[in-house]
Amino acid sequence: MHQPLLGGLAPRDFLARHWQKRPLLVRGALPAFSGLVAPRELFALAGRDDVESRLIVRSRGRWSLRHGPFARRELTTLPARNWTLLVQGLNLVVPAADRLLRRFAFVPYARLDDVMVSYAAPGGGVGPHFDSYDVFLVQGSGRRRWRVSAQSDRSLDPRAPLKVLARFRPQSEWILEPGDMLYLPPGYAHDGMALDACTTYSIGFRAPAARELAAEFFGSLADRVPIEGRYEDPDLRVPRHPAAIGEAMIDRVEAMLAAVHWTRRDVAGFLGEYLSEPKPSIVFDPPRRPLSAGMFARACRDRGVRLDARTLMLFRRRSLFVNGEAHSMPAALRPALIELADARVLSGVKVRNRSLIALLHAWYVAGYLHLGSEP
């Protein structure tokens, strides 16, 4: 199926030709699109302590960076030019942004991160930089000029409080208007400057560093893999130097560590829990007066359920991962749970099994899902 979102490319052709390979500019990717939030709404979000926001100002060739929350007066008294307000995780608080994020489901949910919105005054931007992850830049209101480079020089300006390239040599340049979209693979240097007051919506993707994955995985091994025994040295001898770490001790510890093994199943289980774990700042809102199990069952059949925008649900074979927790999927529940994970909604006609209703009720009480198909 070809998508206007991808310039007429089928998703598999986009992945084969462009994903992590080369940029793609799509004119009119989202026809009639002019953004999801007005400046007033965005300023209100930037004032919340549960929403991550940043303010970047360029003055006389110098950059400044401040983190929110911001009082409304701080934002309404800014100069007429050269500043940008960034609000992260827009999809968690604005249903339309979550729907925008789901349009990119041709990439697995395990790789999707969030929607960030940038509101910039004329001349505003965050400077030339590169990202370590894929990004789609969707233009909302106004116009923004993007300059892009495949340069290998990634030296940073030591004076800047954010990662601004010290030497940027643009190779391509485009002006994006409402509804246009630019895809950039990881590592492509880019600089976006607002020509008018404008909004840009960035769809970002998760790309954990190998060091981060290793640290998290090895940290999880203690719970995932049986590690028995205790250090012993029945043949200990009086040391010549009490402060020295003996070779025999190193041999024993090396042998203990070499006995630790893991399987592909351990790696899969770790990934499911790790990739579905919400960010530390995420807090779920349970219903103030939750319905009883019986009332929930009736309402569930009538109205269906939908996942909370903050809920991360992934699956692999018979395992389901919900917000960092692993669940087994009995064969009778598997089709419905997979549909819920993929579509993030489940109609009432699919909710008939008692065990399924009990599981959904537990998630409802925790705030992981809600009744009804629309927020």
- Of the two residues 226 and 278, the one the predictor is more confident about is 278
Q: Which residues contact 62 (CB under 8 A, 6 or more apart)?
A: 159
pLDDT for res 1:
47
Q: Residue 282: its pLDDT value, please?
A: 92
Give kind and range of the element (H or E) at residue 320: strand 319-322
Confidence of residue 372 (pLDDT cuts 50, 70, 90): very high
The residue behind tokens 């400046």 is 39
Write the CA distances from 173 to 122, 170, 182, 193, 265, integer angstroms. Answer: 18, 7, 11, 11, 46
At the second CATH level, the architecture of 4-205 is Sandwich (2.60)
Q: Is pLDDT at 50 greater than 70 in this prediction?
A: yes
**Is the Cα torsion angle 94, 96, 100, 103 positive or negative in sign?**
positive
Residues sharing a CB contact under 8 Å with residue 269, sequence separation 6 or more, in sequence order: 224, 319, 326
C-beta of residue 175 within 8 angstroms of C-beta of residue 148:
no
Half-sphere exposure of 218 (CA within 13 A, CB side): 7
Of the pLDDT bands very low, low, confident and very high (cuts 50, 70, 90), residue 228 is confident
Helix, strand, or coil (residue 360): helix
Average pLDDT value for residue range 18-35: 96
Cis amide prior to 69 (ω within 30 degrees): yes
d(CA 41, CA 235): 72
DSSP track, 105-164: TTS-TTTEEEEEEEEE-TT----SB--SS-EEEEE-SS-EEEEEE--S---B-TT-SS--
Q: What average pLDDT score do residues 342-371 get? A: 95
DSSP state, 26?
E
Domain spanning 293-371 has what CATH number? 3.40.366.30
- Tens-digit pLDDT profile for residues 154-178: 999 999 999 999 999 999 999 999 9
For the segment 89-106, the average pLDDT, to the nearest whole number, is 96
Residue whose pair of structure tokens reads 């510890």 in the numeric block: 253
What is the identity of the amino acid at 119? Y
Evaluate if residue 218 carries a pLDDT over 80.
yes
Residues 109-128 have a mean pLDDT of: 96
CA 308, 314, 318, 319 dihedral sign is negative
Give me the pLDDT at residue 229, please. Answer: 86
Going from N- to C-terminal start, the domains of the chain cover: 4-205, 210-259, 293-371
Per-residue pLDDT for 206 more than 80? yes
- 5 close to 26: Cβ distance less than 8 angstroms: yes
**Four-point Cα dihedral 91, 187, 195, 57, nearest 10:** 80
| Mean residue pLDDT across the chain | 94
Residue 284's CB: how many other CB atoms inside 10 A?
Answer: 14
Residue 3: predicted pLDDT: 62
* Residue 358, token pair as written in the block: 């009990």
pLDDT tens readout for residues 247-306: 999 999 999 998 888 999 999 999 999 999 999 889 999 999 999 999 999 999 999 999
Three-state secondary structure call for residue 303:
helix
Q: What percent of the chain has pLDDT over 70?
A: 99
